[in-house]
Amino acid sequence: MSGFIARQPNGLLTRFSCTTDRPEQYNMTDEEYIELRAEFAREDARYTLAHHLRPFSEVQEYFCPNNMTEEEFQEYLVTASSTPEVVVVKPEIAGKDE
């Protein structure tokens, strides 16, 4: 375990690090803690996209029809191979008379 969250006596939150053996963040509201975790998730996702993408051919290579039929998989391949529709939404101009 690299750390844990504790509710402080004042009702706010502390993140205690077992790596450094000290509180790293403290006096956080629940929303601040949620945003902290969301930012960690965003960073992790960005790192994965930058360094850990696998070739799509592996999806086809490793597919096994245990939880999806061959027919469903073929439909998926068509969907995954087609160009996605791009929807352009024009922003409204504030105060525009129509």
- Assess whether 45 and 58 both reside in one domain: no
Specify whether 18 is located in the same domain as 36. Answer: yes
- Asked whether residue 98 is domain-assigned, the answer is no
Number of domains, the chain:
2
Query: Do residue 19 and residue 32 come from a single domain?
Result: yes
- 43 in the same domain as 15: yes
* Residues 5, 36 within the same domain: yes
The residues pairing with 14 across neighbouring beta strands, listed in sequence order, are 6
Global confidence as pTM: 0.63
Note the Cα 5 to chain centre separation in Å. Answer: 21
Helix segments in the chain, DSSP class H: 30-51, 57-62, 70-81
pLDDT, position 92? 73
Per-residue pLDDT reduced to its tens digit, 28-74: 999 999 999 999 999 999 999 999 999 999 999 999 999 999 999 99
Residues 2 and 37 in one domain: yes
